[in-house]
Amino acid sequence: MDKTSGANSDQNAIYDVNKNVYDNMVQVQLRVPEELVEDIDRWVKEGRFKSRSDAIKTILIMHRERERTREFYKMLVERSDEARKRPELLIPLEELK
């Protein structure tokens, strides 16, 4: 598989997220530096996004997921520290079956 087809399949997954998750949309207006608009227009022309709106929406979704992942990782680190300090609180995986 070449890099282009892999990128397109990843992008198709993002399109599905946009289509299915956000039924109740609110229109907003924003000012964006011209250089970023040129990047977005190039990505749309390359087929990476369907439109400027789709690009901005997808980038925001990806940023939100990144932040959620960071928060989840932070929680895992805290729980790992807690488990090292108090291993008696851990439940063996065998008991979860």
DSSP state of 96: G
Residues 39-97: pLDDT tens digits? 999 999 999 999 999 999 999 999 999 999 999 999 988 888 887 888 777 777 777 76
Whether the per-residue pLDDT at 13 is higher than 60: the answer is no
pTM of full prediction above 0.85: no
Structural domain spans, the chain: 3-90
Structure tokens at 78: 């805290």
pLDDT at residue 58, as a whole number:
94
Among 59, 15, 13, smallest CA distance to 36 is for 59
Run of H or E including 66: helix 52-85
Residues 52, 40 contacting (CB under 8 angstroms): yes
pLDDT tens by residue, 32-50 = 999 999 999 999 999 999 9
